[in-house]
């Protein structure tokens, strides 16, 4: 079973029952999911360069919220990132917003999610520069997720960070301790301060929207009272101890990039108007469980995690930032080579992806020999079992 099956089963009725809040983007994503890799989007005929075998492939929708379309995008992104990973250990850190801010984030996705990126990145850069901790300029990737295992709204940012950085004068590489990177309590307090300061600035500039039950927060006193609540407890920052080198970092990045709220592999059943799916219970040693939700509630939760149009969910910071990468990344390779005595080649331009489909009979490469429209596919149905498009 796939997400498309659920949308086909209940999508139209769900949209009609949800007119109070559903919008055009929601409907566009649901439509894209149902059309993905079907004749509705057209296709192409592939032919094997070896044995001549032919097969029909249907086109994908390429919507970034479609569970089917993320695998190849993830592979292409990882191929490009592979050349940027340094021959050193890496760290995985997670910055999480408190639950009290989740309703506000849903009404101000672009602003709050952008602030989450900026505050977490500024926190890592500031604490790492402090000579009491690392005393270096670091570089890292950040990936936004907005869900938990039960598809509830849970905005957080995953960061994969080189366990070390450039010395302040850029004359050497500073490595972190083998079992410790940066203090999580310090990270949490600095993160909280920067995030709340950003919220205050956005409120004063009139950039925040308040609707429904949040309408009262438009008053300065009510908003200030809500912010004070955020200082009653520490904010959660998780940091895994430094692990292996670039190949481990790629594995981590592959697990967190280009994901949507739920993958097709986690879906179990659709029966009697209920959707069952697997989830991992982190409160009980990551025990695997199955949850069932009414189909309308399942689709509502799925749509909570649509990102604003054009919003970038994977970002680079520090010496990996776009403006500095071309200069600082080769310097990092050079300094690591000098300090370790091992060859650490500077990154080269990525090669073109060679992930072309292969013939199921002889293993040779399949090449596109004909583009097919919906009309052609309907008039001339494929005589062979279709193969899903890459």
pLDDT digits (tens, 9 = 90+) for 295-339: 999 999 999 999 999 999 999 999 999 999 999 999 999 999 887
pLDDT band at 383 (very low <50, low <70, confident <90, very high): very low
Residues 48 and 171 in one domain: no
The sign one gets for the Cα dihedral 380, 383, 388, 390 is negative
For strands 173-175 and 237-239, give the pairing. Answer: unpaired
Residues 127 and 224 in one domain: yes
pLDDT average, residue stretch 37-59: 85
Query: How far apart, in whole angstroms, are the C-alpha atoms of residue 163 and residue 157?
Result: 18
Residues 59 and 92 in one domain: no
pLDDT of residue 386 exceeding 50: no
Confidence (pLDDT) at 388: 47
Domains in the chain, number: 2
Residues 244 and 138 in one domain: yes
145 forms beta bridges with 156
Q: For the whole prediction, is pTM greater than 0.75?
A: yes
Residues 54 and 119 in one domain: no
Residues 52 and 195 in one domain: no
Judge whether 346 lies within some domain. Answer: no
Confidence (pLDDT) at 54: 86
CA distances from 283 to 202, 279, 287 (A): 35, 12, 8
Judge whether 41 lies within some domain. Answer: yes
Neighbours of 364 (CB within 10 A): 14
Q: Quick one: tokens of 317? A: 């910071």
pLDDT of residue 342 exceeding 80: no
Phi, psi (degrees; rounded to nearest 5) at 94: -130, 125
Residues 370 and 236 in one domain: no
Confidence (pLDDT) at 346: 46
In Å, the largest CA–CA distance within the chain is 75
Residues 193 and 332 in one domain: yes
Exposed (0-12), middle (13-18) or buried (19+): which is 67, by Cβ within 10 Å?
A: buried
Confidence (pLDDT) at 389: 45
Judge whether 267 lies within some domain. Answer: no
Residues 328 and 226 in one domain: yes
Query: How far apart, in whole angstroms, are the C-alpha atoms of residue 75 and residue 357?
Result: 14
pLDDT band at 278 (very low <50, low <70, confident <90, very high): very high
Confidence (pLDDT) at 244: 80
Phi, psi (degrees; rounded to nearest 5) at 281: -90, 95
Judge whether 326 lies within some domain. Answer: yes
| Residues sharing a CB contact under 8 Å with residue 251, sequence separation 6 or more, in sequence order | none
What is the 8-class DSSP label of residue 271? E
Residues 159 and 44 in one domain: no
Judge whether 201 lies within some domain. Answer: yes
pLDDT average, residue stretch 30-53: 87
pLDDT average, residue stretch 176-189: 89
pLDDT of residue 39 exceeding 50: yes
pLDDT of residue 390 exceeding 50: no
Query: How far apart, in whole angstroms, are the C-alpha atoms of residue 273 and residue 275?
Result: 7
Confidence (pLDDT) at 221: 94
**Which range of residues forms the domain containing residue 248?**
84-259+313-340
184-230, pLDDT tens digit by residue?
A: 999 999 999 999 999 999 999 999 999 999 999 999 999 999 999 99
Is residue 278 within 8 Å of residue 120, measured between CB atoms? no
Residues 52 and 134 in one domain: no
Is residue 355 within 8 Å of residue 75, measured between CB atoms? yes
Judge whether 323 lies within some domain. Answer: yes
pLDDT band at 245 (very low <50, low <70, confident <90, very high): confident
Is residue 277 within 8 Å of residue 266, measured between CB atoms? yes
Judge whether 266 lies within some domain. Answer: no
Residues 365 and 242 in one domain: no
Judge whether 31 lies within some domain. Answer: yes
Token match 């429904």: residue?
212
Confidence (pLDDT) at 385: 43
164 forms beta bridges with 175
């Amino acid at each position: 079973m796939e997400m498309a099956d659920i949308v086909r089963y209940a999508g139209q009725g769900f949209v009609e029952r949800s007119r109070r809040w559903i919008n055009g983007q929601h409907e566009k994503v649901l439509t894209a999911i149902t059309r993905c890799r079907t004749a509705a989007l057209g296709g192409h005929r592939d032919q094997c360069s070896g044995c001549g075998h032919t097969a029909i492939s249907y086109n994908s929708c390429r919507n970034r919220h479609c569970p089917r379309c993320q695998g190849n995008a993830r592979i292409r992104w990882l191929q490009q990132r592979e050349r940027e990973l340094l021959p050193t250990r890496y760290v995985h850190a997670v910055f999480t917003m408190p639950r009290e801010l989740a309703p506000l984030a849903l009404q101000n996705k672009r602003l709050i999610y952008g602030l989450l990126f900026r505050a977490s990145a500024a926190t890592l850069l500031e604490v790492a520069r402090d000579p009491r901790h690392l005393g270096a300029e670091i570089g890292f990737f950040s990936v936004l997720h907005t869900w938990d295992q039960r598809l509830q709204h849970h905005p957080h940012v995953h960061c994969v960070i080189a366990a070390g950085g450039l010395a302040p004068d850029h004359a050497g590489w500073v490595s972190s301790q083998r079992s410790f990177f940066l203090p999580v309590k310090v990270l949490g307090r600095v993160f909280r301060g920067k995030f709340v300061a950003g919220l205050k600035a956005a409120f004063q500039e009139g950039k925040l929207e308040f609707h429904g039950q949040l309408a009262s927060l438009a008053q300065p006193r009510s908003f200030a009272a809500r912010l004070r609540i955020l200082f009653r407890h520490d904010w959660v920052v998780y940091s895994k101890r430094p692990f292996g080198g670039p190949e481990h970092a790629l594995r981590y990045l592959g697990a967190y990039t280009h994901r949507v709220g739920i993958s097709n592999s986690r879906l179990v059943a659709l029966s009697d108007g209920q959707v069952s799916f697997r989830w991992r219970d982190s409160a009980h040693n990551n025990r695997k469980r199955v949850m069932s939700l009414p189909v309308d509630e399942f689709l509502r939760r799925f749509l909570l995690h649509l990102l604003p149009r054009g919003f970038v969910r994977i970002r680079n910071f520090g010496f990996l930032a776009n403006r500095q990468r071309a200069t600082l990344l080769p310097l990092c390779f050079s300094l690591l080579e000098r300090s370790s005595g091992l060859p650490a080649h500077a990154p080269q331009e990525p090669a073109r992806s060679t992930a072309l489909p292969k013939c199921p009979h002889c293993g040779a490469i399949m090449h596109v020999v004909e583009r097919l429209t919906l009309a052609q596919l309907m008039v001339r149905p494929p005589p062979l079992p279709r193969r899903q498009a890459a």
